[in-house]
Amino acid sequence: MGALIRSVDFSEVEIIDPFWSGMIGLVHAKTIPACIERCEETGRIGNFRIAAKAVPGEHSGRSYNDSDLYKVLEGIGYTLSRFSDGELEKRADEIIGYIVGAQEESGYLNTKHSISGEGRFVDMDEHEMYNGGHLIEAGIAYYLGTGKDALLRAGMRFAEHIMEIFGPEGRNWVPGHQEIELALVKLGELLGKEKYIAFAKWLLGQRGRGYGSTGPEASAGGWNREYYQDLVPVEDLDRIYGHAVRAMYMFAAMADVSRHGFSGYLPALESVWRNITDRHMYVTGGIGSSKVNEGFTVEYDLPNESAYCETCASVGMVFFNHRMFLLTGESKYLDVLERELYNGAISGLGLDGSSFFYDNPLESRGKVERKPWFRTSCCPTQMARFIPSIGGYIYAARGRDLFVTTFIASELECGFRIRMEGDFPESGRIRLSGDPRGELDRVFVRIPDWANRHSVRKTEGAESVGMKDGFLIFRIHDRFSLDLEFDMKIDFVRANERVVCDRGMVAIQYGPVVYCLEEIDAPDYECFEFREGDAFTIDRSSVTFPGRSLVRVVDKEDGRTRATLIPYHLWNNRGACGMKVFIPSRLSDSLYCR
* β 578-580/513-518 pair status: antiparallel
* Residue (of 76, 71, 66) closest to 98 by Cα position: 66
Exposure string of 501-518, with b = 16+ CB inside 10 Å and e = fewer, is bbeebbbbbbbbbbbbbb
What is the rounded distance in angstroms from the CA atom of residue 282 to the CA atom of residue 307?
9
* β 13-15/6-7 pair status: unpaired
How remote is the C-alpha of 506 from its chain's centroid? 26
144, 97 Cβ separation under 8 angstroms: no
Q: What angle do CA 80, 85, 90 make, to 5 degrees?
A: 95
State residue 195 phi and psi, 5-degree precision. Answer: -60, -35
State residue 27 phi and psi, 5-degree precision. Answer: -65, -40
**Is residue 378 among the annotated active site residues?**
yes
What is the rounded distance in angstroms from the CA atom of residue 142 to the CA atom of residue 152?
8
Which one from 294, 310, 421, 426 is the annotated catalytic residue? Answer: 294
**What residue type is assigned to position 181 of the chain?**
E
DSSP 8-state assignment for residue 387: G
Which one from 35, 378, 379, 577 is the annotated catalytic residue? Answer: 378
What is the rounded distance in angstroms from the CA atom of residue 428 to the CA atom of residue 426?
7
Partners of 398 in beta bridges: 401
CA atoms within 13 A on the CB side of 363: 17
**Is residue 14 among the annotated active site residues?**
no
Q: Please name the residue ranges forming H helices in 447-568.
A: none
Q: What angle do CA 431, 432, 436 make, to 5 degrees?
A: 160
**478 Rama class: left (phi>0) / alpha (psi -120 to 50) / beta:** beta
Q: Which residues are catalytic?
A: 294, 378
